[in-house]
Amino acid sequence: MTSAANASNTIDTQHQTSSAHSNAVIDKSGSALKLYLVTDRVMCQKLGLIETVCEAIDGGVTFVQLRDKQADDEQLYQMACELKEAIAGRVPLVINDKVHIAKKANLDGAHIGQGDLSVTEARQILGPDAWLGLSINTLSQLQHAHDHHLNQLDYFGLGPVFATDTKPNHARPLSISGLDNLAQASLLPTVAIGGIHLNNARKVYQTHCDGIAVVSAICASDQPKLAAQNLLQQHFLAQ
């Protein structure tokens, strides 16, 4: 084999290894959802999105969802690629709603809501191994997902638990008891989202949910690593 062919083969092998690493399934059990960060670029302005997320992972964040409703597809793709490189496979990285960008950027998966493309379409785009989460607010939505998409989904995002300014026009808050009812009924791992911060995280961790998802509790913090550590302390205290 020529040196040029050897070089080409080396590059191809490195690309395949890199691609496989970026989509490696770290852990699809509920423990992967213990501390789930949903990004907000505006809230992250002080340190920047990349530094905020990386510091939060250093503090114990176990899962990251890239969410930016203001960015266009090209901007979101660039953010996804930069964030993926910075995270370097330490935790799963998924994107909110934009399943085609998750596929293009070779992310670990996507999270979709009730009003987005169907679960079946999302799974077809992402392939069989990627993470796919679905937002749930009612028992009827949960039952429908159980009946029609159980083998296509990996987890449910349950919420909003409390009222939140992060997502305008959100559904009626579940409250702790409503959240626990959904979590107990779920056949898949669950992560609670909506208005969760340091002062109420322990109550949420005391439910049957596998984890909590936060936005401002980390993104708006001057010390994302410490914010993540403090939230995980609430998990420890809830046991």
Q: What are phi and psi of 191, to 5 degrees?
A: -130, 130
Hey, is 108 helix, strand or coil? coil
Work out the pLDDT band at 116, boundaries 50, 70, 90.
confident
In a domain, 198, yes or no: yes
Residue 149 has pLDDT above 70, yes or no: yes
Q: Residue 97: what pLDDT?
A: 96
Does 73 carry a binding-site annotation?
Answer: no
Does 123 carry a binding-site annotation?
Answer: no
d(C-alpha 208, C-alpha 183), whole Å: 5
Higher pLDDT, 4 or 47: 47
In a domain, 112, yes or no: yes
Work out the pLDDT band at 171, boundaries 50, 70, 90.
confident
Does 135 carry a binding-site annotation?
Answer: yes
Mean local confidence (pLDDT), 12-16: 36
Higher pLDDT, 163 or 209: 209
Work out the pLDDT band at 163, boundaries 50, 70, 90.
confident
d(C-alpha 58, C-alpha 96), whole Å: 22
Work out the pLDDT band at 22, boundaries 50, 70, 90.
very low
Question: What share of the chain in percent tops pLDDT 70?
Answer: 86
Does 66 carry a binding-site annotation?
Answer: yes
Residue 27 has pLDDT above 80, yes or no: no
Does 96 carry a binding-site annotation?
Answer: yes
Mean local confidence (pLDDT), 70-97: 97
In a domain, 4, yes or no: no
Bond from prior residue into 160 cis (ω within 30 degrees of 0): yes
Following CA atoms 84, 86, 87, 88 in sequence, which dihedral angle do they give, to the nearest 10 degrees? 80
Does 65 carry a binding-site annotation?
Answer: yes
Does 109 carry a binding-site annotation?
Answer: no
Does 167 carry a binding-site annotation?
Answer: yes
Under a CB-based contact definition with an 8 Å cutoff, are residues 213 and 190 in contact? no
Token duo for residue 206: 């005391």
Mean local confidence (pLDDT), 122-148: 97
Number of domain units in the chain = 1
Q: Residue 141: what pLDDT?
A: 97
Does 195 carry a binding-site annotation?
Answer: yes
In a domain, 227, yes or no: yes
Q: Residue 164: what pLDDT?
A: 76
From the list 39, 197, 191, the residue with the least C-alpha distance to 107 is 39
Work out the pLDDT band at 115, boundaries 50, 70, 90.
confident
pLDDT digits (tens, 9 = 90+) for 203-230: 999 999 999 999 999 999 999 999 999 9
Does 62 carry a binding-site annotation?
Answer: no
Q: What mean pLDDT value characterizes the chain?
A: 89
Does 164 carry a binding-site annotation?
Answer: yes
d(C-alpha 109, C-alpha 90), whole Å: 15
Mean local confidence (pLDDT), 59-86: 97
Does 97 carry a binding-site annotation?
Answer: yes
Token duo for residue 238: 């809830």
d(C-alpha 228, C-alpha 61), whole Å: 6
Element (H, E) at 117: none
Token duo for residue 148: 């029609």
In a domain, 46, yes or no: yes
Under a CB-based contact definition with an 8 Å cutoff, are residues 139 and 182 in contact? yes
In a domain, 21, yes or no: no
Q: Residues 209, 198, 159, CA angle at the centre, nearest 5°?
A: 40
In a domain, 179, yes or no: yes
Q: Residue 154: which CATH number?
A: 3.20.20.70
Q: pTM to 2 decimals?
A: 0.88
Q: Which of the 8 DSSP states describes residue 172?
A: P
In a domain, 104, yes or no: yes
Token duo for residue 67: 């969410």
User: Domain range for residue 139?
Assistant: 30-237
Hey, is 122 helix, strand or coil? helix
Mean local confidence (pLDDT), 75-94: 97
Q: Residue 11: what pLDDT?
A: 35
Q: Residue 14: what pLDDT?
A: 35
